[in-house]
Amino acid sequence: MGYLDDLNQAFSTYPYPLEENPKVAFAGTAGSYGEQAALSFFKNKCSLSAFQNFDEVFACLEEGQCDYGVLPIENSSTGSIASVYDLLSRYHYYIIGEEEVRVKHCLLAPPGATLKDIREVYSHPQGFSQSQLFLKDHPDWICIPYHNTAIAAAFVADQKDISKAAIASKRTSQLYDLAVLADDISFSQTNVTRFVVVSKKMKLRKNPSRVSIVFHLPHRPGALYEIIGVFSVFSLNLCKIESRPLLKENWEYLFFMDFTGNISENTLKNVLPIIEEKVETFQFLGYYPQYEN
Amino acid sequence: MGYLDDLNQAFSTYPYPLEENPKVAFAGTAGSYGEQAALSFFKNKCSLSAFQNFDEVFACLEEGQCDYGVLPIENSSTGSIASVYDLLSRYHYYIIGEEEVRVKHCLLAPPGATLKDIREVYSHPQGFSQSQLFLKDHPDWICIPYHNTAIAAAFVADQKDISKAAIASKRTSQLYDLAVLADDISFSQTNVTRFVVVSKKMKLRKNPSRVSIVFHLPHRPGALYEIIGVFSVFSLNLCKIESRPLLKENWEYLFFMDFTGNISENTLKNVLPIIEEKVETFQFLGYYPQYEN
C-alpha cells in the first residue's frame, strides 16, 4: 500500500510550492516540443538538461541530478505513449503536473530560399503526415525522414543549401536562423501533445483536479463495467480511457485511465483502494492540477 | 442509415468466400511487416502492390485497381493507428478480416560481418526502442534512424560494409542476402501489430465474431457508463476501448471500440442503432472473423 502512505505524506505538506529555479530534465533537443513544454510549465525559470530518450530522463531523476522530468504522455492523434507509462510504473515516480503543447509545423529553409527552390524536405515522419495537405501541392519534393523535427532543422541550417527545407516548429527557425517559407502547415489545427511533469516523490500542488491510474484487467465480461460503475457512484468524470492488450497474459488488458471531478482527500483515499481490489497490478500515478490555457 | 442497408445486403450473400488470387494493396516495401500480413492472410495466393502510405492504399481501392487493402490498425505497445481509422471513416469502407504479425527483430549485416565489426546500426526508431536491452550491451554503436526497417536493411545490403548493420525482420535477411548476427533481439516477446483487411463493400466472411465501431461521445458524466451498459445487457464482450480527445470540439471524445461474443444477425441490427442513438457521428466499421493463431 505504498501509494496510500505517499498520499498521506503529500496531504500533510499540502500545498507544495514548486522550487525556485529547479533542475529539469527533458527528452529532445533545443527547439523541440519537449523543451517548449518544460519552459512553459516552469515559466522559463528552470535550468534545463536535454536527454536523448525517456530512460535517460528517469535515470537522471533517480541519481538526484534533477528535480523534475518532463515527458510526453499522450498525443491527440497518435494516443498514449506506453513507454512513459512503463517507466513511471517501473520507477514508482509520480506525476505532479501537466502541460499541453500545440504542434504547429512550419516549412523552414536557409535565408534567401523561396518555395520554388525547394527539392528536398527533412522532418520526422509525423511531421510529414501532419503536413500532408500542404505537401500534396508539391508532389515533386523528396521527403527525407529524420528522427526529430528539431534535428532536421539543425541539419538544414548546417547545409546552407536553398534547395533543402525542414518541417519543424517556428521556435527552431529562431534557434537555427532559418526563414519561415510557410507558416502553420499542419493538417490538423488541433494536434496537441500532453506532457507530464514527473517527480521522484509525490507532491501535491495547489488545487489538484486530475488523477491518473494504470492497471491490468482480466478479460471477463463485465469487469470494465464494474470499474466504470465505481466512477459513476462517486460522480467522478472519466476523461481518458485506453486499453492495450497484454499478449503474453492470454488477453489480459492494460488500462490507462484519468479522471477529474470535485475530489476530496477522503474520496481519493476511498476510491483508489476500491478500484485496486477489482483489478490486478494497480498503480496510482498522481493527483495534480489540470492544464489551463 | 447506410450501414444497416449494407449489413442486410451482406447477410443476404453470407458467407462470402474470398476471391481466388485477389489484387491486394499494402503500405510498405518488400520484406515489411505489412507485406508479411498480406501474404499470411491470403495464404500467399494474391497479387501484391506496395504503396508508400495509407492514403495511397485507399486511393487504389477507390479506383478499383485492387480488391483489398491491408493496413496496420493497432500495435500492442504503441496503440491504435488513428490515421487508418480516419481513412476508413472518410471513405466509408469496411474491415472484412484481420491478421496479426509478431514483430521479431534481428540484427542483420553483410555476409562475413561479426558483432565485433559493427559500428553503425540502421533501423526505424521503434526498431531501436524495441531492441534497447540488446543495444545496451553495445553502447559504442551509433544508431541511425530510418523511416522503415526494410529500407534500412536494403541500405545496409547495398553498402556491403561489414561495419554497418540493420535491425529488421528475418524475412528481409533472405530478401537482401544479409547474415543474421543476432536473432530475435526485441525487448518484448509480445510486440504484435494487428492489421485489417479493408474492402470497398461490406462482405461477411464465414463465422464472423468481432465488431469494430468508432464514434464521438460528448463529455458528460455517465455517457460512457451508458454505452458500456448496452454491451453488458446484450452480453457482449468489449475487447478494445480507446478514447482520444477531439480538441477543437471542446473536449468531446473519439472512441475506438471492438466487441466480440455470440452475435446473431438480430443482435447486431439491434445493438448498433441503440449505440448510434447515444453518441454522435457513429460509424460501423465491420463484422469479421477474429484472427486465430
Q: Among A36-50, A110-124, B213-227, whose mean pLDDT is lowest?
A: B213-227
The residues in A 174-193 lying below 8 A from B, measured between CB atoms, are 189-190, 192
Contact A214, A208 (CB under 8 A): no
pTM: 0.79
Of B79, B129, B190, Cβ closest to residue A80 = B79
Distance (Å, whole) CA B133 – CA B185: 8
Higher per-residue confidence, A127 vs B204? B204
Contact A37, A157 (CB under 8 A): no
A-B C-beta contacts closer than 8 Å: 96
When scoring A75, A85, A147, A258 by the number of chain B Cβ atoms within 10 A, the one with the most, hence best to mutate, is A147
Residue A102's closest chain B neighbor by CA?
A: B247
Contact yes or no for A78 and B79 at CB 8 A: yes
ipTM of this model? 0.70
Residue A212's SS3 state is strand
Task: Go through the domains of chain B in sequence order and give each one's CATH number.
Answer: 18-102+191-198 (3.40.190.10), 105-182 (3.40.190.10), 209-287 (3.30.70.260)
Please report the sign of the dihedral spanned by the C-alpha atoms of residue B46, residue B195, residue B126, residue A124: positive
Query: Within 10 Å of residue B74's Cβ, how many Cβ atoms?
Result: 24
Q: Does B218 touch chain A (CB under 8 A)?
A: no
Asked if residue B291 has pLDDT above 80, the reply is yes
Cross-strand partners of A179 = A109
- Where does the pLDDT of residue A75 fall: very low under 50, low under 70, confident under 90, or very high at 90 and above? confident
**Extended beta strands in chain A, E state:** 23-27, 47-51, 68-75, 79-80, 94-102, 105-109, 120-123, 142-145, 164-169, 179-182, 192-199, 210-217, 237-246, 252-260, 280-288
Contact yes or no for A231 and B225 at CB 8 A: yes
Q: What is the β-pairing status of strands A68-75 and A79-80?
A: antiparallel
- Where does the pLDDT of residue A141 fall: very low under 50, low under 70, confident under 90, or very high at 90 and above? very high
Helix, strand, coil in percent for chain A, rounding step 5: 35, 35, 35
Of A82, A237, A240, Cβ closest to residue B77 = A82
Our answer to whether residue A193 is catalytic in this structure is yes
CA distance B108 to chain A (A): 21
Helix (H) or strand (E) holding B226: helix B223-233
Query: Within 10 Å of residue A31's Cβ, how many Cβ atoms?
Result: 23
Instruction: Name the nearest CA neighbour of B50 among B30, B66, B33.
Output: B30
Largest Cα span, chain A: 64
- Where does the pLDDT of residue B32 fall: very low under 50, low under 70, confident under 90, or very high at 90 and above? confident
| Predicted pLDDT of residue A77 | 67
Residue A100's closest chain B neighbor by CA?
A: B247
In the predicted model, what is the mean pLDDT of chain B?
89
CA distance A238 to chain B (A): 8
Identify all chain A residues contacting B147, using CB atoms and an 8 Å cutoff. 125, 145
| Predicted pLDDT of residue B190 | 64
Distance (Å, whole) CA A87 – CA A207: 26
Asked if residue B1 has pLDDT above 80, the reply is no
Mean pLDDT, range B214-238, rounded to an integer: 85
Identify all chain A residues contacting B141, using CB atoms and an 8 Å cutoff. none
Contact A224, A217 (CB under 8 A): yes
Distance (Å, whole) CA B156 – CA B166: 6
Q: Does A48 touch chain B (CB under 8 A)?
A: no
Residue count of chain A, please give it.
293
For B128-156, write each residue's pLDDT tens digit: 877 888 988 998 998 887 777 888 999 99
Contact B83, B274 (CB under 8 A): no
Q: Residue B15, preceding bond cis, omega within 30 degrees?
A: yes
- Residue B289 sits at φ, ψ, to 5 deg, of -65, 140
Instruction: Name the nearest CA neighbour of A235 among A278, A271, A274.
Output: A271
CA distance B170 to chain A (A): 21
**Helix A223-233 × helix B223-233 angle, to 10°:** 150
Residue A222's closest chain B neighbor by CA?
A: B232
Residue type, position B174, single letter:
Q
Mean pLDDT, range B254-275, rounded to an integer: 91
CA distance B253 to chain A (A): 9
Place of cell 553483410: B110
Mean pLDDT, range B71-93, rounded to an integer: 83
Q: What is the CA radius of gyration of chain B?
A: 21
Of A83, A190, A251, Cβ closest to residue B247 = A190
For B164-197, write each residue's pLDDT tens digit: 999 998 889 999 999 999 998 986 656 788 999 9
Mean pLDDT, range A66-95, rounded to an integer: 87
| Predicted pLDDT of residue B157 | 95
Give buried/exposed letters for B22-61 (b at 16+ CB in 10 A, else e): ebbbbbbbebbbbbbbbbebbeeebebbbbeebbebbbbb
Place of cell 506532457: A195
Residue in A26, A193, A215, A259 annotated catalytic: A193
CA distance A215 to chain B (A): 14
Identify all chain B residues contacting A132, using CB atoms and an 8 Å cutoff. 55
Mean pLDDT, range A267-288, rounded to an integer: 94
Asked if residue B76 has pLDDT above 80, the reply is no
| Predicted pLDDT of residue A247 | 59
Q: Does A50 touch chain B (CB under 8 A)?
A: no
Identify all chain B residues contacting A232, using CB atoms and an 8 Å cutoff. 221-222, 225
- Where does the pLDDT of residue A188 fall: very low under 50, low under 70, confident under 90, or very high at 90 and above? low
Place of cell 491510474: A213
Give buried/exposed letters for A170-182 (b at 16+ CB in 10 A, else e): ebbbebbebbebb
